[in-house]
Amino acid sequence: MERQSRHRRTQIEDGVFVALVVLVSIAFALVVEPFFGAILWGVIVAILFIPVNQGLLKLIPGHRNSSALLTLLLIIAIVIVPAIILSIALVQEATALYGQINVGKINIPHMFAQFQSALPDWASIGLRRLGISNFAAVQRLLTDGLTASFRTVAAQAFLIGQGAFSFIIALTVMLYLTFFLLRDGLDLARKLDRAAPLRVLHRRALMRQFVIVIRATIKGSIVVAILQGLIGGLVFGALGISGALLWGVMMGFFSLLPAVGTGLIWAPVAIYLLATGAIWKGLILIFCGMFVIGMVDNLLRPILVGRDTRIPDYVVLITTLGGLQLFGFNGIVIGPVIAALFIATWQIVIRTRSHEAGAPPLTF
C-alpha cells in the first residue's frame, strides 16, 4: 500500500514537473518572440558558416573566441554589408522610378495604348472572349496599382530613420547570437540531442535533416536567386529597360518559386516588347530568359543542393507561398524547413513500421 502511494506521488510530481517545463518553455518563447526573425537568421547563418569556423579552429587550435570573431567579421563583410548597400540602392531606384511615373516621363497609360494597338486581331478576339476587353479599366487598375506600390516604397525611404533603431537592434541580436552559436553551437547541439524526449535514432535523423535543409535552402535557393537576379538585371540594363536593378531583385525573389520563377517577370516584358515593335529586344530577352536565366536553376541547383536532399518542386512551391503568407519574408526558409521535417518524420514512421508484415501494393 505504501509502495503504491509512493508510486502515485511520484507520478504526480513527474506530471507537475512536465507541466512546469512546458509552461516555462512557452513563457520563454513569448519573451523572445519579438526577436524571432533575428534568432532564426542567426541560427541559419551559424549553420552555414560553422564549417568555416571549424576550418579556422584547425589553423588556430584552442582559440574558439578568435575563430568565431573572425568568422563573424567574414559574415559582415560578404553578407551584411552587401545586403545593406543593395537595399539602399533598391530604395533609391524605386523612388526615382516612382518620380518618373509621377511626372509623366514613364507614361503607363500610353504604354498600354501602344500595346493594345499592336495586338493582332486574333489576340484581341481571344481577350474579348476572356472578358478582358475594357483596356481603359485595365490601364487604370494597373496604373493605380503600380503607382501605389512605388508610392509605398518611396514613403518607406523617408521612414527609414524611424525604423533604423529597431533594425539595428535586430541586426545586433542576430550577430551577437551568431557569435555564440559559432563558438558553442556544437556543445548546444549535443545538449539538445540529450534533452530531446525522442529515441536516439529519431532525434538525430530530425536534427540532421534540419541542418541539411537549411544548407540546401540557402545554397540551392538564395545563391541561385542572387545569380538569376544579377543576370536578369544585367540583361534588362543592356536592353535599356528602366529600373533594371528593381526588375533584377524581383526576378531574384520570384526565382524562389519553382516552376514559375523568373518567367513571371521577364515573360510579360518580352511580350510587351514584341507587341510594341521592339522585336529584337523581345527576342533577345526571351532567349536570355529561357537559355541563360532559366538554365542557371537547372544547372546549379542540383550541384549546390544534391539530388538526394531535394524536396519535390511542388512541395517547395506550396510551402514557400504558405510560409510567406504566415511568416512574411522569414517564410522563405520556414516553409521548406517545415516541409522537410514533415517528410523526414513520416519517413521515420514508415521505417518504424517496415518490420510489419508486407501488404499487397495499393492499386486503383
For the stretch 302-313, pLDDT in tens is 666 655 456 777
Where do we find the cell 528593381?
246
Q: What is the mean pLDDT of residues 89-115?
A: 66
Q: Which of 139, 149, 134, 137 is nearest to 108 (CA)?
A: 139
Q: Which residue has the higher pLDDT, 163 or 257?
A: 257
Q: Which residue has the higher pLDDT, 358 or 251?
A: 251
Mean pLDDT, the chain, as a whole number? 75
Cα–Cα distance, 162 to 173 (Å, whole number):
19
Q: What's the pLDDT score for residue 71?
A: 92
Q: What's the pLDDT score for residue 263?
A: 80
CA of 277: how far to CAs of 15, 115, 120, 264, 285, in Å? Answer: 75, 9, 12, 21, 14
Check pLDDT > 90 for residue 74: yes
Q: Which residue has the higher pLDDT, 14 or 143?
A: 14
Q: What's the pLDDT score for residue 27?
A: 92
56: left (phi over 0), alpha (psi -120 to 50) or beta: alpha
Q: What's the pLDDT score for residue 266?
A: 83
Q: What is the mean pLDDT of residues 210-218?
A: 75
Q: What's the pLDDT score for residue 108?
A: 59
Where do we find the cell 519579438?
34
Q: What's the pLDDT score for residue 278?
A: 79
Highest mean pLDDT range out of 64-78, 113-127, 151-165?
64-78
Q: Which three cell numbers stand for residue 32?
A: 523572445
Cα–Cα distance, 206 to 343 (Å, whole number):
10
Question: For 194, phi and psi rounded to 5 degrees?
Answer: -75, -30
Spatial CB neighbours of 74, under 8 Å, sequence gap ≥ 6: 49, 52
Q: For residue 197, what is the DSSP state?
A: S
Residue 259: Cβ within 10 Å count: 9
Cα–Cα distance, 48 to 147 (Å, whole number):
39
62: left (phi over 0), alpha (psi -120 to 50) or beta: left
Confidence of residue 330 (pLDDT cuts 50, 70, 90): confident
Look up residue 2 and give its amino acid. Answer: E
Check pLDDT > 50 for residue 342: yes
- Looking at the chain, list the stretches that DSSP marks H as alpha helix, in order from N- to C-terminal side: 2-32, 36-59, 64-75, 81-103, 108-118, 121-129, 135-158, 160-195, 200-217, 223-238, 244-254, 263-275, 279-288, 294-305, 313-327, 331-353
Highest mean pLDDT range out of 66-80, 108-122, 182-196, 336-350?
66-80
